[in-house]
């Protein structure tokens, strides 16, 4: 019998067959990032500009012009979670190291991914790149099991020294090459060895200094740092700087200076140990560099600081952590919480930093001062939504469980990003179990909130999941919930045409709640509801997500698959309504679409196509009825930071699709904007199509919901015909015989379904 995991992997692999991915998906201009560039880990210089490495990308800053450019997985890099970086301005070569052990080599000819870093036999620890130091055409790579020498020009590894004794590996926290000798900082002292035949033999390495060392750097002199002390010199003996530091974050040695970064302070010494300058950044700093006799610091929260504490960085969210996203007009709100981090609900880390939400106001990103240094309230914000009638007011849910105190949890109102009020749902001694999850405004501007209530540690009666209506006239949520359901955990609700759809994913009693309040939210006398569970042909009693498409079919994402429910209002009246799977056929095999896969999110675009995210499986873009997979995006073939997308939001006006992960947000410029029965702004791209530069399909966007297409050559001969649905069309540049067309100009003649609207376009083909 196949295991669930095996079946899930099989169907994901099955679906991937035949998918027409963009050949330039990794670097396509269709992608952009919404990463945070606040946390600067390393700064290097490159002629007239500085290069700063942050968590999810690097950026270039020109102090003389103020110009800032960024480089991330959306436009060239291959990974996120940067852990090390170095750059040689003389050779124009740089190396980015990642937490997963891979590296990007940045050269004038391009960016090259290196994944074959040497691994010690039997080593099962972290693959994280701890430190990179470039010396000419060689780089020393420090990892959890020792050091490797990397030849940058050939992009290949040379000798590796595994710091192993009796099966125990010693991590190299940092290492440099000076005068053909490697010096490595470890928790068991400074280790050194000349690069020669015995370099890989760890027993032959010397220990010139004992202690627990974090950093090492070299130029005319060499310096070593523990958490509190810096030793320097040319050897074989070394002197100590006179100061005892608090917690050294970085150490940089230039031709004439030793620069020590110590939490919020930077100290600059001569190479003889004389203190020359100090700088208090007023916040946590990770690194520092002197450029053109000016000190620049890399901060944790504000990008690059100059000595006047002016901040320089690409505009972006306060942090990369993201969970849910809301769009309204040209504004964005991002909730940074995480169901898995709640200390009571999942025994997570109770000391994890809870950082609130971030807001893009149409011109710049904002981080409310309410969250800065707020020591009185802990935050785990699972959802944030604006009031459509007054976007200056937003509401967010704080899911945080702070011991037995109910004073943190609740729904919070903010106005112009300033705190206004907190709303709770129960005032008795058990209030700490009432945890708000998701919010939604319906078309009548009613605000609903889903609330999860459990008593895992007590046997006394405790309400289960419920939802509440916000009373604007009383400025309060209802004293009592709309109703309570024995469905355990609960998710963010979805609403359409006076019906609430509430997924419940976490217990055997869960499923999908369909609640028809008949567009009379203030009255419950005419309300009806139904809870769909396994008996209604759900794979298991656990619904994770839901989307109501343009045909009013309900797409139900489950912990073990996908189901469709037609005519949901009628289903409420049935005794035992049944959902249906989607059956696809690949290579003669019939298989249930997404069988055994855990669906995280479903969104329907205006063309009725579906975006579906799979836990650990990336994002699928499928046709309106699910019989065709149009795209599949994963972290390996796209800029997605990871393969678990917790939220998907679509801007129907622009066609942009926002993919939210716990490691950051990326944006894909989709082909479908607002789709109606008539044409929108028709756009053909790429155009012209030059085969030497692009070998994919030509796309036409801005089409009617159903479009009849005729493509002719310049003489009027029919080359291709088709019917496009969903607002866009792709042409593979083949004629009706399946042969690629010759170079030339081709005319696209289009009419909508009833012939009342027409559009034309031209495509230039260069083979």
- pLDDT tens across 667-679, in order? 999 988 888 999 9
Band (478; pLDDT cuts 50, 70, 90):
confident
CA separation for the pair 700, 694 (Å, rounded): 16
- 587 or 152, which is more confident: 152
- Note whether 590 and 636 are within 8 A (CB): no
> How many domains does the chain fold into?
2
CA separation for the pair 673, 415 (Å, rounded): 31
User: What pLDDT does residue 121 have?
Assistant: 79
Query: Tens of pLDDT along 104-123?
Result: 999 999 999 999 888 887 88
Residue-wise over 332-346: b if at least 16 C-beta within 10 A, else e? bbbbbbbbebbbbbe
Residue 581 covered by a domain: no
User: What pLDDT does residue 355 have?
Assistant: 86
Residues paired with 699 in a beta bridge: 685, 730
Give the strands of the sheet with 554-558, arranged side by side: 543-548, 554-558, 561-565
CA separation for the pair 689, 263 (Å, rounded): 53
Residue 481 confidence (pLDDT) above 60: yes
Residue 114 covered by a domain: no
Residue 316 covered by a domain: no
CA separation for the pair 606, 670 (Å, rounded): 11
- Note whether 226 and 187 are within 8 A (CB): no
Joined together, the tokens standing for residue 653 give 């006006």
Joined together, the tokens standing for residue 567 give 């005519």
Residue 431 covered by a domain: yes
Fill in the DSSP letter of residue 405. B
- 549 or 483, which is more confident: 549
Domain range for 706: 683-766
CATH number of domain containing 406: 2.120.10.30
Query: Tens of pLDDT along 579-608?
Result: 999 998 877 788 999 999 999 999 999 999
Fill in the DSSP letter of residue 235. S
Q: Mean pLDDT for the chain?
A: 89
Mean predicted confidence (pLDDT) in 246-271: 97
- Can you spell out the DSSP letters for 546-564? EEE-TTSPEEEEETTEEEE
pTM for the structure as a whole: 0.90
CATH number of domain containing 732: 2.60.40.4070
Residue 565 covered by a domain: no
- 463 or 34, which is more confident: 34
Mean predicted confidence (pLDDT) in 127-147: 96
Domain end marker among 485, 512, 547: 485
User: What pLDDT does residue 87 have?
Assistant: 98
User: What pLDDT does residue 15 have?
Assistant: 36
User: What pLDDT does residue 349 have?
Assistant: 45
What is the widest separation between alpha-carbon atoms in the chain? 88
- For residue 583, give the H/E element and its range: strand 583-586
Domain end marker among 485, 510, 525: 485
CA separation for the pair 103, 82 (Å, rounded): 9
Band (505; pLDDT cuts 50, 70, 90):
confident
Band (2; pLDDT cuts 50, 70, 90):
very low
User: What pLDDT does residue 159 have?
Assistant: 94
User: What pLDDT does residue 7 have?
Assistant: 43
Query: Tens of pLDDT along 682-715?
Result: 999 899 999 988 888 999 999 999 999 999 999 9
Which residues touch 13 (CB under 8 Å, ≥6 apart)?
none
Residue 693 covered by a domain: yes
Question: Beta-carbon neighbour count of residue 64 at 10 Å?
Answer: 8
Give the strands of the sheet with 110-114, arranged side by side: 82-88, 93-98, 103-107, 110-114
Fill in the DSSP letter of residue 295. E
Residue 344 covered by a domain: yes
Residue 526 covered by a domain: no
Domain end marker among 435, 454, 485: 485
């Amino acid at each position: 019998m196949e295991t669930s995991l095996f079946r899930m992997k099989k169907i994901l692999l099955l679906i991937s067959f035949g998918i027409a991915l963009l050949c330039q998906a990794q670097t396509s201009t269709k992608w952009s990032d919404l990463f945070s560039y606040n946390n600067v880990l390393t700064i290097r210089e490159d002629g007239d500009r500085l290069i700063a490495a942050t968590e999810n990308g690097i950026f270039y800053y020109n102090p003389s012009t103020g110009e800032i450019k960024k480089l991330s997985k959306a436009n060239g890099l291959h990974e996120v979670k940067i852990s090390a970086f170095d750059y040689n301005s003389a050779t124009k070569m740089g190396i980015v190291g990642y937490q997963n052990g891979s590296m990007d080599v940045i050269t004038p000819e391009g960016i090259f991914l290196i994944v074959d870093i040497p691994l010690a036999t039997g080593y099962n620890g972290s693959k994280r790149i701890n430190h990179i130091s470039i010396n000419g055409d060689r780089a020393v790579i420090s990892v959890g099991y020792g050091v490797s020498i990397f030849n940058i020009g050939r992009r290949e590894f040379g000798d590796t020294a595994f710091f192993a004794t009796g099966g125990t590996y010693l991590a190299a926290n940092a290492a440099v090459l000076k005068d053909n000798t490697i010096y490595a900082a470890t928790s068991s002292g400074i280790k050194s060895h000349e690069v020669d035949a015995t370099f890989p033999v760890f027993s032959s390495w010397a220990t010139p200094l004992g202690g627990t060392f974090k950093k090492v750097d070299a130029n005319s002199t060499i310096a070593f740092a523990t958490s509190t002390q810096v030793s320097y010199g040319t050897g074989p003996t070394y002197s100590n700087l006179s100061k005892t530091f608090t917690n050294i974050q970085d150490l940089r040695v230039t031709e004439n200076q030793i620069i020590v970064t110590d939490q919020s302070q930077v100290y600059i010494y001569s190479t003889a140990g004389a203190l020359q300058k100090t700088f208090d950044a007023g916040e946590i700093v990770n690194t520092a560099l002197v450029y053109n006799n000016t000190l620049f610091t890399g901060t944790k929260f504000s990008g690059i600081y100059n000595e006047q504490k002016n901040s320089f960085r690409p505009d972006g969210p306060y942090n990369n952590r993201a969970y849910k996203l809301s769009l309204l007009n040209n504004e964005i709100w991002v909730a940074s919480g995480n169901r898995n981090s709640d200390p009571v609900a999942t025994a997570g880390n109770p000391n994890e930093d809870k950082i609130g939400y971030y807001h893009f106001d149409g011109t710049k990103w904002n981080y409310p001062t309410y969250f800065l240094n707020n020591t009185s309230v802990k935050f785990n914000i699972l959802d944030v939504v604006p009031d459509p009638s007054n976007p200056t007011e937003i509401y967010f849910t704080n899911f945080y469980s702070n011991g037995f105190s109910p004073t943190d949890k609740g729904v919070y109102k903010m106005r112009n990003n300033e705190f206004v009020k907190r709303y709770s749902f129960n005032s008795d001694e058990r209030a700490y179990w009432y945890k708000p999850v998701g919010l939604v405004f319906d078309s009548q501007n009613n605000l609903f909130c889903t609330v999860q209530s459990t008593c895992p540690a007590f046997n006394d009666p405790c309400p289960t999941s419920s939802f509440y209506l916000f009373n604007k006239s009383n400025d309060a949520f209802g004293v009592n919930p709309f109703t309570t359901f024995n469905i355990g955990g609960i998710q963010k609700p979805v609403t359409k045409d006076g019906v609430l759809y509430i997924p419940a994913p976490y217990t055997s009693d869960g499923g999908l709640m369909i609640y028809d309040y008949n567009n009379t939210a203030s009255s419950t006398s005419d309300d009806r509801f139904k809870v769909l569970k396994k008996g209604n042909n759900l794979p298991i009693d656990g619904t994770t997500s839901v989307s109501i498409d343009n045909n009013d079919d309900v797409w139900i994402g489950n912990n073990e698959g996908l189901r469709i429910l037609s005519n949901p209002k009628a289903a409420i009246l049935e005794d035992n309504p049944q959902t249906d799977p989607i059956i696809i056929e690949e290579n003669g095999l019939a298989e249930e679409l997404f069988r055994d896969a855990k669906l995280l999110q479903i969104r329907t675009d205006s063309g009725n196509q579906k975006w579906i995210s799979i836990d650990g499986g990336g994002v699928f873009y499928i046709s309106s009825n699910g019989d065709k997979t149009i795209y599949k995006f994963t972290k390996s073939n796209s800029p997605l930071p990871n393969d678990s997308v917790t939220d998907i939001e679509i801007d129907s006006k622009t066609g942009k699709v926002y993919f939210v992960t716990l490691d950051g947000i990326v944006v894909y410029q989709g082909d479908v904007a607002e789709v109606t029965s008539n044409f929108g702004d028709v756009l053909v791209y790429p155009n012209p199509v030059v085969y030497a530069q692009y070998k994919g399909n030509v796309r036409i966007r801005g089409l009617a919901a159903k479009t009849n297409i005729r493509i002719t050559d310049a003489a009027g001969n029919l080359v291709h015909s088709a019917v496009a649905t969903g607002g866009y069309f792709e042409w593979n540049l083949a004629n009706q015989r399946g042969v690629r067309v010759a170079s030339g100009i081709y005319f696209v003649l289009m009419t909508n379904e009833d012939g009342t609207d027409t559009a034309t376009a031209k495509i230039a083909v260069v083979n």
